[in-house]
Amino acid sequence: MSNKNRIRAINRIVERPADSVFEAKPATIDYYGIDVFNEDSMRKYLAKDTAEKLLATINKGVTLDASIAGDVAHAMKEWAVDRGATHYTHWFQPLTYGTAEKHDSFVSPVSHGRAIMAFSGKNLVVGEPDASSFPSGGIRSTFEARGYTAWDPTSPAFIKRHANGATLCIPTAFCSYRGEVLDKKTPLLRSMQALKESIVRLMRCFGVPEETPGITLGAEQEYFLIDEAFYLQRPDLVQTGRTLFGAPPPKHQQLEDHYFGSIKPRILKFMTEVEVDLWKLGIPAKTRHNEVAPAQFEIAPMFEDLNMAVDHNMLVMETLRQVAERNGLVCLMHEKPFAGVNGSGKHNNWSISYGKRNLLDPGTDPEQNMIFLTVLSAIIRGVDLHADLLRSTSCSIGNDLRLGSSEAPPSVISIFLGDQLEGIIDQIVKEGASNGSKKPGTLRVGVNTLPPLPLDATDRNRTSPFAFTGNKFEFRAPGSSMSCAAPNTFLNTIVADSLDFISEKLEKAPEKDFQKTVQSTLRDIVVKHRRIIFNGNGYSDEWVAEAEKRGLPNLKTTPEALKPLLDADNQKLVAKYGVFSKVEMDSRYEVFLYDYHRRLRIEGEIALEIATSMVRPVAQNDFARLSAALAEATSTGIKEGLSGLRVATKSAGARLDRLTEVCDKLKAAVAAEKYEDIIKDMEALRAVVDELEHEVDDQEWPLPKYREMLFIY
């Protein structure tokens, strides 16, 4: 009986001892940020002037005074050791899906078999991990194994704990011997610098007093949780993060009863543990809820400075995985772990600020209105000119399955503004045309003639990949397992370029013509780039057809969506802002395409193994059992039941034949590395296997079923 394991898994869940119910006691969060080397710890462990210098770098972007590195290292070590750390690591984000760390202990032998805990300025500032086995797309060959990690003081050091110890983690950037980037953080930092400079330049045009520019991110994270006992019986989940087989059960998400539903105690216990761990790391976990698909959930933080938010999201994913494990659960971050129900995304809420002013806040006074509309137009221009580049940041083998299906935005990039803003855009176009009739001196960029914008000017549209949501843009295409670094790197760069495009015009305008120039510039932009705005239903087929008419790119698969990285205009743009050199863009293309192909091959191989070693024996037994029964029934001479048996035996035989046939095809496609065929053949194989799941004796089925994994926990 092959389903013994399935039954054991269910029993294990049923027999879990009940968790005791929380006894009310006053809640505290005095542990918030306790495992981060934050401003408080800096002030406690560093001399006053050193702390001030470090804080100036962190808060105001002042170049780090190299002479303080030794003192900072010492203070960081003292703090970490006080918090139980024995090791430190440079923590970085290579071109894989995860983060990387190599631990060194603070232990440093001195004479007579004694040791002290030591950590120098050099240890803090640079690391030289043997980097030969990280993806580099040919930038760094194995004989030049060296890579460098460089301390990023703008993202605070933190402590990671495990059962019997702790490690000081220092966020770093990672580059090659010759300085080419090998990670996701360096380009992000470069793009932030570029965008911040463009913001300052634009604000200067508007005569706004000098402030600190900022870029903010709030990354909503969706995920699935299933019981570990099921997970361990699904080689596809273990190897690829998604189910390659599995028939959707009769009830999944159609009743819309999971979204925002009451959260099961086992899940709430998990969520609470996640939050406590995140709060200790100073990560502002804020929102938790059930998502649309069964067993799907979401966590969202309060938005933060972009660089920190990107690092924090990596830690959110890691914490979700680890706390799940502690709770006998597995957290699936894959974009489409289950066919037929919603996939998981990562909504990238992005905005820019100047001092305390959110530049994407429409505001209530004409000046803020005008700045808002200028920034909005810059974004419209940037996204229209480089929609393909933005799209390239959210392609992956997992996201190919998610985009364009079950409540995920399509692969066409467009902007949602809502009716009210679209009306204002109309106004800009018209106002510009009927220029002469108004009194000189009034700001006529469309808004001053309209009532002030209410704060929540926009309706919600969940079907748009890039939606204005009141005071920020929400980029919804990125997948749940991805780092937010790439989407924001390109978003920053294309917006920097468009802000500069506008500033250049405004700088040239004589003072008396300033408003006229703003108006005509915005008008020209809107007229030219309006095609990128779409307020309708992004899930509809009509939109895909309409988008094609408008000439918007529709890059459906990863190989297509990566091509924009090679595009000459795109390469010129990112080079202009010092974000990526041509070599770096080319290498990224190589790395991501190779990664995609490698993953596809793994999927093909594991699908084959499951089909031949787990499913085929069941299909064979099914056929053998039925044909034996048919032979026996025939020999008794009894007619009743014979026709039913004959039909069943025939279909069992046909299924077995089809299974063998598609397995052979898939095997050939994998061997020949014909990637499009691998995808097609895997789909065909899935159809046969899912049919078998329905038809064969439930007691024989070797893989946990959707109705078990998604509903029993």
Binding site for Mg ion (CB under 5 A): 220
Nearer to ligand ADP, 48 or 356 (CB): 356
Nearer to ligand ADP, 247 or 320 (CB): 320
Helix (H, G, I), strand (E, B) or coil at 64: coil
Structure tokens that stand for 121 in this block: 């300025």
Least separation, in Å, of the C-beta of 346 and ligand ADP? Answer: 11
Least separation, in Å, of the C-beta of 365 and ligand ADP? Answer: 19
Least separation, in Å, of the C-beta of 319 and Mg ion? Answer: 19
Residue 215: its H or E element: strand 213-227
Count the Cβ atoms, other than its own, within 10 Å of residue 27: 5
Cα 335 from chain centre: 9
Partner from ligand ADP, Mg ion, none contacting 381, C-beta within 5 to 8 A by type: none
For the chain, the distance separating the N- and C-terminal CA atoms, rounded to the nearest angstrom, is 23
Partner from ligand ADP, Mg ion, none contacting 472, C-beta within 5 to 8 A by type: ligand ADP
Nearer to ligand ADP, 286 or 650 (CB): 286
Least separation, in Å, of the C-beta of 313 and Mg ion? Answer: 14
Least separation, in Å, of the C-beta of 357 and ligand ADP? Answer: 11
Nearer to ligand ADP, 184 or 347 (CB): 347
Answer for the pair 481, 333: CB distance below 8 angstroms, yes or no: yes
Handedness of CA 375, 377, 378, 384 (dihedral sign): positive
Least separation, in Å, of the C-beta of 241 and Mg ion? Answer: 22
Partner from Mg ion, ligand ADP, none contacting 538, C-beta within 5 to 8 A by type: none
Structure tokens that stand for 591 in this block: 């790395």
Nearer to Mg ion, 184 or 346 (CB): 346
Helix (H, G, I), strand (E, B) or coil at 241: coil
Q: What is the CA radius of gyration of the chain?
A: 29
Helix (H, G, I), strand (E, B) or coil at 259: coil
Nearer to ligand ADP, 139 or 309 (CB): 309
User: How far apart are alpha carbons 593 and 586 in whole angstroms?
Assistant: 11
User: How far apart are alpha carbons 504 and 318 in whole angstroms?
Assistant: 44
Least separation, in Å, of the C-beta of 394 and Mg ion? Answer: 17
Nearer to ligand ADP, 50 or 198 (CB): 198
Partner from ligand ADP, Mg ion, none contacting 349, C-beta within 5 to 8 A by type: ligand ADP
Partner from ligand ADP, Mg ion, none contacting 415, C-beta within 5 to 8 A by type: none
Residue ranges binding ligand ADP (CB under 6 A): 216-218, 220, 287, 300-303, 347, 349-351, 358, 471-472, 474
Burial of 370 (0-12, 13-18, 19+ CB in 10 A): buried
Nearer to ligand ADP, 350 or 416 (CB): 350
Partner from Mg ion, ligand ADP, none contacting 465, C-beta within 5 to 8 A by type: none
Structure tokens that stand for 488 in this block: 């924001």
Nearest residue to the partner ligand ADP, using Cβ: 218
Partner from ligand ADP, Mg ion, none contacting 303, C-beta within 5 to 8 A by type: ligand ADP
Partner from ligand ADP, Mg ion, none contacting 218, C-beta within 5 to 8 A by type: ligand ADP
User: How far apart are alpha carbons 343 and 291 in whole angstroms?
Assistant: 10
Count the Cβ atoms, other than its own, within 10 Å of residue 199: 24
Least separation, in Å, of the C-beta of 302 and ligand ADP? Answer: 5
Least separation, in Å, of the C-beta of 706 and ligand ADP? Answer: 26
User: How far apart are alpha carbons 511 and 238 in whole angstroms?
Assistant: 64
Residue 451 DSSP symbol = P
Location of structure tokens 């202990």? 105
Nearer to ligand ADP, 90 or 312 (CB): 312
554 strand-pairing partners: 412
